[in-house]
Amino acid sequence: MSVTVKDVARVAGVSTATVSRALRGFETVDPAIRQHVQRVAERLNYVASPAAAALSTGRAGSVGVITPFVNRLAFQRMLAGIESVMRGTEMDLLLYCTGDPSDPHPVPPRKRLARRVDGFIVLSLALHSPDVEEISKLNMPVASFGEQGPWGSNVQVDDRAGANTATEHLIEQGHTRIALIHGRDAHDPGVLEHQRYLGFREAMARAGLPVDPSLVIPGDFTIAGGARAMSILLESTERPPTGVFAFSDEMAYGAIRVMRERGLAPGRDIAMIGFDGHETSSLLDLSTISVPFEEIGATTARKLLDEIEGVAVGASGVTVLPTELTVRASTVPHPVTRP
Amino acid sequence: MSVTVKDVARVAGVSTATVSRALRGFETVDPAIRQHVQRVAERLNYVASPAAAALSTGRAGSVGVITPFVNRLAFQRMLAGIESVMRGTEMDLLLYCTGDPSDPHPVPPRKRLARRVDGFIVLSLALHSPDVEEISKLNMPVASFGEQGPWGSNVQVDDRAGANTATEHLIEQGHTRIALIHGRDAHDPGVLEHQRYLGFREAMARAGLPVDPSLVIPGDFTIAGGARAMSILLESTERPPTGVFAFSDEMAYGAIRVMRERGLAPGRDIAMIGFDGHETSSLLDLSTISVPFEEIGATTARKLLDEIEGVAVGASGVTVLPTELTVRASTVPHPVTRP
DNA sequence: GTGAAAGCGCTAACAC
DNA sequence: GTGTTAGCGCTTTCAC
C-alpha cells in the first residue's frame, strides 16, 4: 500500500531494526548510517505508521481533551492554550465531548477513551459525573482543570476568592440588593460553580447582607440563559436587584441584552459584573473577574505531558492560577463624556 | 498488559475470529454466540485496541480537522458543528493547527498528518498554502470549507454575494466614502477573503463609487487588528470614512472599541457592518452578514464521512450555504428611545 | 553497532 | 457458522 520500514531498509541496505533506530535518532547507530537512512527515508517519503508504532510500543502518541462543551468561549481559550503546547510535541490532540447533561451519550465513554491516548486533559467536568469515574478507572495519566479529581495533576483558579471579590466590589459600590445568575446547581457541592457560590455567600454574609433566594437564578452558562435569568429578575421580582453578579461573562451578555431591550443601562440602572474576562467583555464595558484561560490550558497540557513522560509520576500537584478584578463601566459608571 | 481478544476468546470458549466478528455485530455469527461473547467481553471490561484494529484493517478510525486558527469564533462554531456530527460516530476527532503564517511549523505537516486519520476536514486554508498541497498529496478523503481545493467535497458560503450585500447596504444608507477592513491580502486571488473583496468592489463600482486605497486597511481578522485598522482610518486619513465594512465581526469589535474611545458612536457617527454573524454582535448592535458556521461544520463533517464510507466516492460536490444580512443599529440607527 | 526474529492485538482469507 | 492461520508495520530483545 504505502512505503514501509522494509522498503527503507531494503533501499538503504540495512535491517529494519536499524532503520527504526536511525529514524528515531538513537545514539547507538553509526552517525554515517543514521544520516544515510534518514536521507533514504526522506527520499522515499517514508512516514512511520502510527498505528503500528503504537501497537508495538504500547504508547498511543496522542492525548485526549475531554470537556462537556465546545461552544463556550472559555473552552476555546483553553483549547488554544493546549494547542500551543501540543504543537511543540509529536503528539496528536484528540477531542472528546462528554458530560454534557443534555446528551444521553450513545457510546459509553470508556469505549471511546480507552487505549486511544496516552493521557487525558479533563476540562471542567463535574466531580461526580459518571465520566470522571470512568476516566479514573482507566488508570491513565490525567491532568485536569477545575475541581481536583481522584488524580494527581490539577489546575485551578481560586473561584471562591474571585466570586468573593466580585461580590465585594458590588457591595463597595453601595449595592445591597444583589442578584446572582449562576449556571445550574450552584448549591450542589459536587459542582464546579459551587466554589463561586460560596465566595458570593461569604462576601454577602461578611457585609451582613441577606441572600434573597428569589434573586438567585440559573442561567445555564449561555447567553440565552443569561437573558432568561435577567427577564425573570426584572419581571417576576417585586423589587428588582440593583446589582447583578453573573457566573460567566456570557450570561452577563444575555442579561445586558435584556436590560437594554427595556431601556436599562448596565452601570447606570443596574450594576452588572461577570466572570471569565473574555475579550468581548471590554467592548460591552462589562466589569468581570478575568481568568487566564489560555494559561490554564497550556499549564494543564504541560502537566499532562510531564505525567506521561514520567517526570512527575502520580502527581505534579495542584497549580492555582490567579484571577483579577477588571472594573469597567457596568459597575462603575465613570463620568466620561459619552455622547 | 490489558485484556485482549484472546482472553475473551478463551473465557467465552470460542476463537478470536468469532470474538472479533461477534463484537462488531456481524450477521454471520450465531445470535446466541454473539450475545454470549458480548456478555463476556462486557464482563471482562474488554475494549479492542484501536491501534491493532487500525493496523489490521488499514483504517485509522478517526478524522482530522485542519485549521490555521483555533482562537477565532468562526472556528469554534464550526468545530461545534463538526463535533455534533462526529459524536454519532465511532470515529475520533483529531485537531491539527497549521497554516498559521506566523508559525514556522517545526514538524512538517505531512509527517503529522499521514496515516493517522481516514480523512481530513480542512477549514479555511488558503488555497496556495503549502499545507493544501501536502494534504492533497496524501491522497485521502478530504472535505473542506472555503475555497475548493484539488479535492471533491467542499462547503462554501457565497462570500462574494455577502460582501456585495454588505456594501450595498452601506451605500443604500447614503454612504459614499466607505472604508474596508480586510484580513491580510484581500487583493491576492489565492486567498479566501478575495471573494469578499470582489463583492465589495463590485458593489462600489455598480454604484459608481471609487475605492480609495487609503481606506482599505488590513485587520488580521482579530479584535486587536480591527482596532489598529480603525485607528489608522481615524488618524492618518485626512477625511475619515462615513461607513466601514469589516471582513469579520471580530475586527468590527475592535473598530467599535476605538470609535467609542474617541467618543464616536457606531451608526451615528460612522456606520459599521461586519461579517460572520456571531452571537455577541447582537449585543453590540452590530449589523453583519450572518454565516451559519455551525451548519458549515456539520455539513463538512457529513461530507467527509460520506467520502470515507465510499458513499460519495471522489466528490460529493460543492454545497453553497446562504448568508444573510442582519441589520442593526450600527448601520441603521433607529429612533428607539435609548437613554 | 547491527541483524534476525519474535511479538504487539487485531482482522480477514480460507478451509472446514 | 466457526476455527486456523497469516499477516498489518512497527519495535525490541538477544545474539553476533
DSSP string, B133-144: HHHHHHT--EEE
* Spatial contact of B262 and B234, defined as CB atoms under 8 Å apart: yes
| Percent of chain B residues topping a pLDDT of 90 | 77
Among A5, A38, A49, most B C-beta atoms within 10 A, so best to mutate, is A49
Of the pLDDT bands very low, low, confident and very high (cuts 50, 70, 90), residue B56 is very high
A51 vs B51, B80, B339: nearest CB? B51
Among B276, B280, B294, most A C-beta atoms within 10 A, so best to mutate, is B280
Of the pLDDT bands very low, low, confident and very high (cuts 50, 70, 90), residue B236 is confident
pLDDT of residue A336: 46
Of the pLDDT bands very low, low, confident and very high (cuts 50, 70, 90), residue A312 is low
pLDDT of residue B164: 98
Share the mean pLDDT of chain B: 91
**Cell numbers found for residue B153:** 467535497
CA of A42 to C1' of C2 (A): 22
**H-type helices in B236-327, by residue range?**
249-261, 280-283, 293-309
Of the pLDDT bands very low, low, confident and very high (cuts 50, 70, 90), residue B215 is very high
Lookup result for grid cell 465594512: B245
pLDDT at B337 over 50: no
Protein footprint on strand C: which nucleotides are under 7 Å from a CB? Answer: 1-5, 7-13
| Percent of chain B residues topping a pLDDT of 70 | 94
CA of B299 to C1' of C6 (A): 47
Average pLDDT over residues B303-319: 81
Q: What is the pLDDT of residues B135-188, one digit of tens each?
A: 888 889 999 999 888 887 999 999 999 999 999 999 999 999 999 999 998 888
- Chain B residue numbers touching A51 (CB-CB < 8 A): 50-52, 54-55, 60, 115
pLDDT at B201 over 70: yes
> Between chains, do A76 and B71 touch, taking CB under 8 Å as contact?
yes
pLDDT of residue A337: 41
Q: What is the pLDDT of residues A190-224, one digit of tens each?
A: 788 999 999 999 999 999 999 999 999 999 999 99
pLDDT of residue B336: 46
* Spatial contact of B328 and B271, defined as CB atoms under 8 Å apart: no
Least confident of A49-63, A175-189, B109-123: B109-123
Q: What is the pLDDT of residues A28-87, one digit of tens each?
A: 999 999 999 999 999 999 999 999 999 999 999 999 999 988 999 999 999 999 999 999
Measured at the CA of A60, the angle between CA B108 and CA A154, to 5 degrees, comes to 100
Q: Give me the sign of the Cα torsion angle B133, A54, A311, A300.
A: positive
> How far, in whole angstroms, is CA A16 from its chain's centroid?
43
pLDDT at B231 over 70: yes
List C-alpha distances in Å: B36 to A107, A111, B3, B20, B87.
20, 19, 17, 13, 28
Q: What is the pLDDT of residues A241-259, one digit of tens each?
A: 999 999 999 999 999 999 9
Least confident of A41-45, A180-184, B106-110, B319-323: B106-110
Model pTM? Answer: 0.94
pLDDT at B314 over 60: no
Average pLDDT over residues B53-69: 94
pLDDT of residue A191: 84
A71 vs B45, B76, B256: nearest CB? B76
CA of A118 to C1' of D3 (A): 34
Q: What is the pLDDT of residues B21-51, one digit of tens each?
A: 999 999 999 999 999 999 999 999 999 999 9
